[in-house]
Amino acid sequence: MPSPESSNARYPTGRAAFPHRDLLGISQLERHEILFLLDEAAQWVAFDPREARRSDSVADPLAGLTIINAFFENSTRTLLSFEIAGKRLGADVVNMHAAQSSVRKGETLIDTALSLNAMRADAIVIRHASSGAVRLIADKVDCPVLNAGDGSHEHPTQGLLDALTIRQALGLGAGSDLNGLRVTICGDVMHSRVARSNILCLTALGADVRVCAPPALMPAEVEAMGVAPFHDFDAALAGAEVVMMLRLQQERMSGQFIPSPREYRHLFGLTPERLARAAPAALVMHPGPMNRGVEIDSSVADLPGRSLITRQVGNGVAIRMACLEVLTRPARKIEGWA
């Protein structure tokens, strides 16, 4: 397990610390850029808007800016998290839902992108059911674009918030990586953009990542991502210090990928007995929403002192605040970024 003194990472100053206009995926980021975003987010973890409202020194760094949350796919946690993040930074936030968009009337995604660009937003957050759709929009607009999940491709802010949550739970400070940390990710790896972003993020930070899934839900190319694949959950859990469960994404499946939810729980569900096979005091994570009694038992999901699931939700706001604040610095002409 890493220790606070295991890494004293340094990253460039000014715009060189994060030179990207957009955040489309963890795959575009260097290790020091990931650490930079984690360290920027750490300052927002303890931010209490209620306390800030009672203060005479409330800072709204994004005051006067407009953020559009364009969600072409249903979401609860991610949409609310981005909305809260933008508002806590002082931005005007507009939510666009797929059911209310012209895409439902036959408008192409490119025409939608051109329309959004014509509105001169300062940042656009996109969630879409098709892999690559966010990049397509990013290529057509003039402002920063943040990927809030595109098909089975990536969900970069989820990967970042999970890394932040792990680092926080282990008591690791600014600049710390996760060298040698044993992490097991189990579930529907095939369809999970969360799994992909976490694999990219955690391996970039030096973690030893194992993935476990039924054969039908394990991507063929997963070993090329630097992880060890398992089909035996008990074997994958041995010595794991963090266990991350994934939701069965039935909406992305066509055909029979698992025999039944009951059989899936028997082989791949995280029960108290199964968790005992991991390292002592192993931490439990889940990106939500959870299928309790299928991929994870309630007694594990709510395990005091070891379940990080609600902390993940809270840290999601902090990560998204950091990403919005960093990507809009050029528009705000911050010294060294404009």
C-alpha separations of 320 from 83, 229, 252, 288 in Å: 9, 30, 26, 17
Out of 78, 157, 184, 203, which one is annotated catalytic?
78
Find the distance separating the first CA and the last CA of the chain, reported in whole Å: 39
Q: What is the dihedral of CA 168, 170, 175, 178, to 10 degrees?
A: -120
Smallest CA-to-CA distance from 26 within 151, 147, 178 is with 147
Active-site annotation holds for 127: yes
Which is catalytic among the residues 88, 112, 127, 157?
Answer: 127
CB 294 within 8 A of CB 269: yes
Residue 149 is which amino acid? G
Catalytic option among 128, 155, 196, 286: 155
Handedness of CA 142, 69, 288, 286 (dihedral sign): positive
Q: Assess whether 333 carries a catalytic annotation.
A: no
Please indicate whether residue 77 is annotated as part of the active site. Answer: yes
Based on the number of CB atoms within 10 Å of its own CB, is 94 exposed (0-12), middle (13-18) or buried (19 or more)? middle
Q: Which residues pair with residue 69 across a beta bridge?
A: 95, 125
User: Does the annotation mark 153 as catalytic?
Assistant: no
Active-site amino acid positions: 77-78, 105, 127, 155
